[in-house]
Structures are given as C-alpha cells and as structure tokens.
Amino acid sequence: GQQLNQSPQSMFIQEGEDVSMNCTSSSIFNTWLWYKQDPGEGPVLLIALYKAGELTSNGRLTAQFGITRKDSFLNISASIPSDVGIYFCAGETSGSRLTFGEGTQLTVNP
C-alpha cells in the first residue's frame, strides 16, 4: 500500500528556533495535509495543500506541496512551548481517504 516517510521522527529544540520537517512518498497524492496531535486528542488540521508547487502559510507555519506531488515540507518559525506535540503529514487519495506519515514528535524547551 501507499506509505509516507516522515522525518525526522523527533526533534528537541529551544524556544525561538525554527523547525523543519518533511514527508516523501512513492505515490502521487491529490492533496497534502499537515496535522498536529496533542496527547490523548485527535489531530487538528494545520495546513492543506491542493496544487503541485503550492506554498501556503498559516501564521508561523509554512508548508509546500512538491512539484511531483510526492513530497511536502512544513516549517515552523520562532517556536513557542505550545508548539509541542506530534506533527503528521497526510496524503489524500480517492474517496477522501487519508494516508498518514509516521509523525514527528516536537519538544520545545523554554
């Protein structure tokens, strides 16, 4: 089946630093999504990407959909303690079915 390879698996950074994480796939996706999940909660959508090459920002978050539709990155600028959590990329295929990456655990030290 389809797989999304997400890296890094975990990151430990200082407050104020910028963060970058990415996902790659052997398959093409129609839509690429980035989610954040807090412990014991469901994921919350951060950014949705619909077009190849699209670059979209949401506050301190910026994400880009790769030209080949097989990869994406998420950047977080000037990290703050509440950015702590697990970040997932997800690719959408037919029927709005989502395939999730393995997740990036982000820890921000104050």
Partner 1 sequence: GAVVSQHPSWVICKSGTSVKIECRSLDFQATTMFWYRQFPKQSLMLMATSNEGSKATYEQGVEKDKFLINHASLTLSTLTVTSAHPEDSSFYICSAMVGGWYNEQFFGPGTRLTVL
Q: Which residues contact partner 1 by CB under 8 A?
A: 1, 40-45, 48, 88, 95-103
Q: Which is nearer to partner 1, 54 or 102 (CB)?
A: 102
Distance set, CA 85 to CA 37, 72, 80, 105, 107 (Å)? 6, 19, 11, 6, 7
CB of 109 to partner 1, least distance (A): 21
Amino acid letter for position 47 = I
CB of 97 to partner 1, least distance (A): 6
Amino acid letter for position 6 = Q
Q: Which is nearer to partner 1, 77 or 105 (CB)?
A: 105
